[in-house]
Amino acid sequence: MEDLDFDASNIEYIPIQVTSNIFLRIGAGIYSSVAGALKELVSNSFDADATNVVVSTNYPEFDEIKVFDNGSGMSPDRFKQAMRNIGSSLKGILEPERKSKKYKRPIIGHLGIGLMALSQICDEAIIESQEEGSKEKFIAKLDFSDFKNRAAKQDLFAQLEIFQNKYGGEQAIKTLLKNEKDPEKIAELTSALELSKRASESLRKMKATKSELTEGEYLGYCAIYPAVPATEGDHGTVITLKTIDKGVRSLLQDLDRPLDTLPQNFREKDLGWKDYQREVNSWPWRDICERLRLGINFLSYQALPKYHQFLWELSIMSPVQYFSEGPVINNSEILKSKKRELERYNFSQYRITCY
């Protein structure tokens, strides 16, 4: 934590322990989108009885993303416990009623899993949290490099298993290649053979270092300052995502998106995706929703800039209240009851900022 100016003698290193299902869940793409990863942070804020959550994307650079909330915060002991039990049912132990303390919201987040899911979009994260009633906060730093390397290997082995089930081992693939004439099939078999070689080499190296995945494995360390002076009366959590992956930044900036997929009026004016992003930014959120609902000017989700697709996806995934007339035109008592329930959760002040 060289970028944090505190006494190094106060730092602790907490071993991160994960279970094998974490790699499978993340490798399966459950958190593979930017919104999918960030929604876990919003869910954790919801669980912490926050009434105000802000997601700052640092638009249009996207080189740092922050999530702020005014929830009950975490103690350093609870955070350490979460890091040592990623993938276990820790939240069920900590909140046996599966309800938040203040607003009795249903617990929906996964603290440790949510943090590790951030590895899909960044290389490191800084967590600052002050528990309600405390005069101190903790600051922790998570480096995802080891986790990302292991997750990539697990994904490699999963792909290998698919190919092996389809074609057999390396020798079987080589035999098929000798007799194959179809160019597309040859390309597929060649990829399968190359994948098999890479996976075999990775497995050989893992066995040589005795680093095979076990059911409960230590995967690096989390550095934490457990007792940093803070403003009395404050509480909540700030999570800062640093070193955002280049692919994520390119996606949100529409850098590699074909110009022929732009709306026709922008193509005719020789404008690009950045111009279209600025245009959509000028629309109120309710206006965007209405345009999508009615298909005004043939607007669809797929035609939105990727950044606005991310905003839409995150809003759909998050437990926020509906518009007063939504989500469907229906006056049934069941829907009215569900709306009243959401109002009682007091989670309406949720903002995504473009700066």
**Residue-level pLDDT at 87:** 64
224 and 276 together in one domain = no
51 and 120 together in one domain = yes
128 and 191 together in one domain = no
CATH number at residue 102: 3.30.565.10
Average pLDDT on 38-48 reads 91
The model's confidence at residue 20, banded by pLDDT at 50, 70 and 90, is: low
Neighbours of 162 (CB within 10 A): 12
The model's confidence at residue 215, banded by pLDDT at 50, 70 and 90, is: very low
Is 221 inside any structural domain? yes
**Residue-level pLDDT at 45:** 92
**Residue-level pLDDT at 1:** 46
Q: Return d(Cα 138, Cα 230) in angstroms, integer.
A: 9
Most confident region among 145-149, 208-212, 268-272 by mean pLDDT: 268-272
The model's confidence at residue 3, banded by pLDDT at 50, 70 and 90, is: low
The model's confidence at residue 109, banded by pLDDT at 50, 70 and 90, is: confident
Average pLDDT on 123-138 reads 95
For residues 312 and 354, the model is more confident at 312
Best CA proximity match to 173, nearest among 196, 156, 155: 196
Residue 322 reports pLDDT greater than 50: yes
Residue 285 reports pLDDT greater than 90: no
**Owning domain of residue 306:** 254-317
Residue 306 reports pLDDT greater than 80: yes
Residues sharing a CB contact under 8 Å with residue 347, sequence separation 6 or more, in sequence order = 46, 50, 51, 53, 103, 105, 319, 320, 321
Is 351 inside any structural domain? no
Average pLDDT on 128-133 reads 96
The 3-class SS string of 72-97 reads CCCCHHHHHHHHCCECCCHHHHHCCC
Is 335 inside any structural domain? no
For residues 335 and 134, the model is more confident at 134
Hey, which bits of 131-175 come out as E strands? 136-143
Residues sharing a CB contact under 8 Å with residue 243, sequence separation 6 or more, in sequence order = 122, 123, 124
Is 126 inside any structural domain? yes
16 and 85 together in one domain = yes
Residue 93 reports pLDDT greater than 70: no
**Residue-level pLDDT at 242:** 94
For residues 264 and 24, the model is more confident at 264
pLDDT in tens, 150-206: 766 766 676 777 777 777 777 888 888 888 888 888 888 888 788 777 777 766 665
Report the number of distinct structural domains present in the chain: 3
Is 70 inside any structural domain? yes
pTM of the model: 0.78
Most confident region among 72-81, 109-118, 311-320 by mean pLDDT: 72-81
Length of the chain counted residue by residue? 355
Is 323 inside any structural domain? no
Helix (H) or strand (E) holding 113: helix 111-117
Average pLDDT on 21-45 reads 74
Helix (H) or strand (E) holding 185: helix 183-208
99 and 239 together in one domain = yes
87 and 226 together in one domain = yes
Is 107 inside any structural domain? yes
Is 325 inside any structural domain? no
For residues 90 and 42, the model is more confident at 42
